[in-house]
Amino acid sequence: MAPRFGTDGIRGVAGLVLTPEVVVALGRAAARVLGTSEPFLVARDTRRSGPMLEAAVIAGICAEGGNVESYSILPTPGLANACRLHTAPGVMISASHNPFGDNGVKLFAQGGHKLRDEVEVNIGDVMLEMLSGAGSSLSGASVGDSVRAPLPVAGYVNHLVGAVSSDALAGLSVVVDCGNGAAFRAAPEALRLLGADVTVLNDSPDGMNINAGCGSTDPTELSQMVLELGAHAGLAFDGDADRVIAVDERGGIVDGDHMLAIFALDLMKQGRLTGDAIVTTVMANLGLRRALEPQGISVLETPVGDRHVLAAMEGHGSVLGGEQSGHVIFAEHCPTGDGPMAGILLLDAAARSGKPLSELTAVITKYPQQLRNVEVRDMDRLEAATGFWDEVRAATAELGNEGRVLVRPSGTESVVRVMVEAPTLPQAVAIVERLSVALSNALGAP
């Protein structure tokens, strides 16, 4: 069975699920559905399987008469920005924060925007047709061409540096964990050009060490180094650098919720927070809403996934959105999450405030949050599981306005995600345990 589109493109084990044959078919489908009037821009992260899958998607696009400009290794937001500048569609080969053995394909419409759901479905259907043998008869001059883009990293670095004043980060000492991913060149260079004193960790990708005990999925080393050096802050990126997790001068973690609160208040102070609202997902901590609403800032929620956040931002005319995981979208700068951009703007906000990062993050008080992935045998019975939903209602009543329960069935596996926020950690743990047992009893353990 060929892989299907998930929350953020298609992902799977490279060579087993995400095979060259699948990716050739996906490239052909993308060319047929999105059109070939403009060259496709293609980039990848640092995974070992990247060149193999890059070649496959380029072959598919060219087989349908499309032309390709290859950007080689570049962060996802760098590719999205190039697509915006050239009004071109794009293909990013990356599995983001996943282990190196996985890989994935993210598609961008012309201008660098994530695809609408119905377009993804269409491309997925055509991909299946391609895999069944519905090929192309193009040949000779009708076949597309592929060229290398000139200095792609330099263009992205210039974009990052141009977002703030030229000396915005002068005097700041910053530790950067590149996660051995796609930002290993661009992020340190941009920070240095803005005047920061930069110490770099995990910037030697070998194709297999991407996200391996480092980067945004594991900022332990970063936190330790910030404390050891007495740095002002640290920034950690995931494999394709569309997300960032920061560390304050005390070694404390600064996640997407913290950053959204800081950015929202800073933009409002400048009179630049359109509609006095931000967009985030249902996974955002209740503390974010509690911090912003008394300041007159509305918090609009969407399903999980930065493409949902972007769609809501466009619908409401919002300039700021993001996710707890560290995807932060500034409509002014990029049509997708941009880890290096968010990191630079965070440091800039801290520098302009004259306050340490830990003091800025104190604006939000996090509610203890517990997430449990419950494997079940019969997912189809979830809606009718009255005993389980009775427990959910009882827990919701128990928490009142000081907590919440969120139940999210997975779209790709027999797992139900149960998240509980409560005033205390023991209460959150107790409720999530109670609900997990009720869920297993109702739907059966695998």
Same domain assignment for residues 223 and 165:
yes
Same domain assignment for residues 36 and 117:
yes
Spatial strand order in the sheet of 173-177: 197-201, 173-177, 233-237, 244-247, 253-254
pLDDT value of residue 1 = 62
Q: For residue 400, is pLDDT > 80? A: yes
pLDDT in tens, 38-88: 999 999 999 999 999 999 999 999 999 999 999 999 999 999 999 999 999
Same domain assignment for residues 133 and 178:
no
Give the span between the Cα atoms of 72 and 93, in whole angstroms.
Answer: 10
Same domain assignment for residues 248 and 301:
no
Q: For residue 111, is pLDDT > 90? A: yes
* 360 burial level (CB within 10 Å; 0-12, 13-18, 19+): buried
pLDDT value of residue 305 = 82
Residue from 443, 280, 275, 293 nearest 364 by CA: 293
* Any domain includes 184: yes
Q: Which of 96, 216, 223, 436 is catalytic?
A: 96
Same domain assignment for residues 384 and 284:
no
CATH of the domain at 297: 3.40.120.10
* Any domain includes 1: no
CATH of the domain at 387: 3.30.310.50
Q: Residue 412: pLDDT band by 50, 70, 90 thresholds?
A: low
pLDDT in tens, 124-163: 999 999 998 877 778 999 999 999 999 889 999 999 999 9
Let me know: does 279 contact 302? Beta carbons within 8 Å. Answer: yes
Same domain assignment for residues 144 and 162:
no
- Has 96 been annotated as catalytic? yes
Let me know: does 332 contact 436? Beta carbons within 8 Å. Answer: no
Same domain assignment for residues 137 and 198:
no
Q: Which residue has the tokens 């391996």?
A: 212
Same domain assignment for residues 108 and 177:
no
Residues 333-352, mean pLDDT to the nearest whole number: 96
**Terminal CA-CA length for the chain:** 22
Q: What's the total number of domains in the chain? A: 4
Q: Within 10 Å of residue 112's Cβ, how many Cβ atoms?
A: 24
Same domain assignment for residues 117 and 145:
yes
| Sign of the dihedral through C-alpha 239, 245, 248, 250 | negative
Q: Residue 196: pLDDT band by 50, 70, 90 thresholds?
A: very high
Residue that terminates a domain, selected from 107, 125, 150? 150
pLDDT value of residue 413 = 75
Let me know: does 328 contact 256? Beta carbons within 8 Å. Answer: yes
